Amino acid sequence: MKQNYRFVIAYDGTRFYGWEHQPNTDMTIQGKIEKVLSLMIGLPEDEKPVEVIGAGRTDAGVHARAMIANAFLDTPLSEVEIRDYMNRYLPDDICIKEVQIAGERFHSRYNALGKTYCYTCYVGDTKPVFDRKYVYTLEKKPDVTAMRKAAGYLMGEHDFASFCSNPRMKKSTVRNVDRIEIEEKGDYLTFTYHGTGFLQHMVRILTGTLLEVGFGMRTPGSMQELLEAKKRALAGATAPAQGLCMMKVDYH
């Protein structure tokens, strides 16, 4: 009898083409996990693999500390045995932190109430050798006070069309971002975002735009005009993928 299982997953996205299946490559997080689960329950290779549903679709090169996913499985293995099997056969840059039996109606994406992402920049004087795959190295330190002021205009419920990289977006681009925290921690600068959901590349575009404020290329008040314009071309550059990490997904 099939049961619905909930997974907490951490991964280093450096080598992967994002979470979601991509044509002509098996280097996706979703694909790797589905392959291992299909082997675990003994599915023949010519059958459709187990379907794993993720709470979000992180881009190529983006990391996660606690992606949530779910899948229906028919297996005699316990939750701990499933976790251990998956970690044995998944590559070393993907870790299943936890497996739990979930309610039949649990859906990792549709039931998600909010998500937290963290973007990390390095502003030190020397090279971040051991963190280079997980930070965006800046040539100089931006004005944090100006960026915090700009972030104030971006918080709340807005149409974030200017911060979406998908020009053919048919669904609503209105989102509620209730928290943007910009913190200095030694040689590191972190941008923490919490909201009900985020558009394609939205967190990276927000970060790139805030950094332009920090470097004096825009004024904090121009964020209001950007929101009203609803034009991606007017917003800032998309910050590189390696600095972004999904930190948490909220549920009841």
Q: Which residues are catalytic?
A: 59
Q: Is 246 exposed, middle or buried (0-12, 13-18, 19+ CB in 10 A)?
A: buried
Please state, in angstroms and rounded to a whole number, the distance separating the CA atoms of residues 42 and 144.
54
Residues 146, 147, 151, 154: is their CA dihedral positive or negative?
positive
C-alpha to C-alpha distance for 223 and 221, rounded to whole angstroms: 5
Residue partners of 170: CB distance under 8 A and separation at least 6: none
The angle subtended at Cα 111 by Cα 106 and Cα 115, nearest 5°, is 130
Structure tokens at 37: 């689960």
Cross-strand pairs, 67:
9
CA–CA gap between residue 219 and residue 54 (Å, rounded)? 37
Strand, coil or helix: 41: coil
The one-letter code for the residue type at 238 is T
